[in-house]
Amino acid sequence: MARKASTPLTSVKRPRNSPYHTDFESLKEEVATQVHTLSNSDLIIQLPVDRLHRGRFQPRNPVDDTALDELAASIRELGILEPLIVRPLAEKADDYEILAGDRRWRAAQKAEMDHVPVIIHDVDDRTAVAISLVENLQREDLNPIEEASALHCLIDNFELTQAQAGELVGKSESTVSKAIGLLKLPEPVQQLLQNRLIEAGHGKVLLSLPLAEQLTLAERAVEQGWSVRELERQKNRLTNKSHRRNRDPRNEHSPNIQHLEAQLKEWFNTPVRLKPNRKGGGKIEITYANTAEYESVLERFGFKHNNN
């Protein structure tokens, strides 16, 4: 079943000297320490679901109802296997903001659970942003646009290079660059990626096409179930066809031909078109608007018009 379309995440536009900016090594050490502390914490407690609130820095897009129902069914059967990570909510005593686990929390509500397991960690906004982004990027169920958007947010909010962002989340600089590149695709193609109707590999192939052709080929890939390799073949066919068309002398109108046409027009005093073909031949078309121009052309060729 096709997933519902969701609105892609847009990075928070922050000027340089962002409040989250920090020395990269310091940020990396801080995140690693916090993640290690959380992963080895025995301080798991149960909190009422109505005391939890969606995190301000949550990078995930809305989850479609089908996927959420499936997770809720699993939670009813097995419970929540991995605790949520939360921090105290400054503006509301005894309530907490979710740093990681938003999807589990919403599924728990669908499963009509009263309490969920959590680890409480009191961190500042900068660390909260980093934990939310890194935790989500290390999960395997992000769609390509969610992953690209989260990486873009991480880079933008902390003024990181692509290599530094990759180091934080265990990805190569090349992988980060290719992932973020998907955000250059037109919105309808991004929706296909969000809905998992095409894969990241399809998106990377489409990026090498002119913008006007990206959506057309993406939709054909969905309709015909093309693999990434088949899409690559179709793209090459389209590119080669376009290249041959552009190389076809019949479609060329080089400066030399234009210059010669202009000279002939001046000589014959009427429009002249040169139409070369691919075999080295071609046509010379001389246009005349009336009898006087017709006679003038003949005279230029050395013929004299005979009214008889």
The pLDDT assigned to 308 comes to 53
Chain segment 26-35, per-residue pLDDT in tens: 766 666 666 5
**What pLDDT is attached to residue 214?**
93
Amino acid 157: pLDDT: 81
pLDDT digits (tens, 9 = 90+) for 252-263: 556 677 778 888
Q: What is the pLDDT of residue 204?
A: 96
pTM for the structure as a whole: 0.60
- Report the pLDDT value the prediction gives residue 287, as an integer from 0 to 100: 82
Residues 74-124: tens digit of each pLDDT: 999 999 988 998 999 888 888 999 988 888 999 999 999 999 999 988 888
How is 187-221 classified by DSSP, letter by letter? HHHHHHHHTTSS-HHHHHHHTTS-HHHHHHHHHHH
Span 7-28, pLDDT tens digits: 333 333 444 455 555 566 776 6
Q: If you classify domain 24-185 with CATH, what class do you get?
A: alpha beta
What count of other Cβ atoms lies within 10 Å of the Cβ of residue 288?
16
Q: What is the pLDDT of residues 274-291, one digit of tens each?
A: 888 777 788 888 888 788
Segments making up each domain of the chain, as ranges? 24-185, 198-247, 250-300
- Residue with tokens 């903001």, as numbered in its chain: 97
Q: Is the pLDDT of residue 211 over 60?
A: yes
Helix (H) or strand (E) holding 46: strand 44-48
pLDDT of residue 63: 65
The string of DSSP codes covering 216-267 is: HHHHHHHHHT--HHHHHHHHHHHHHHHHHHHH-GGG---HHHHHHHHHHHHH
Instruction: Provide the 3-class DSSP secondary structure of residue 8.
Output: coil
Which of 24-38, 48-62, 188-202, 204-218 comes out lowest in average pLDDT? 24-38
The answer to whether 125 and 84 are in contact (CB under 8 A) is no
Q: What is the pLDDT of residue 244?
A: 57
Whether residue 53 is predicted with pLDDT greater than 70 in this model: the reply is yes
Tell whether the model's pLDDT for residue 305 goes beyond 80: no
Query: CA dihedral in degrees (238, 239, 240, 246; nearest 10)?
Result: 110
139-187, pLDDT tens digit by residue? 667 889 988 998 998 898 888 899 998 888 888 999 999 999 999 999 9
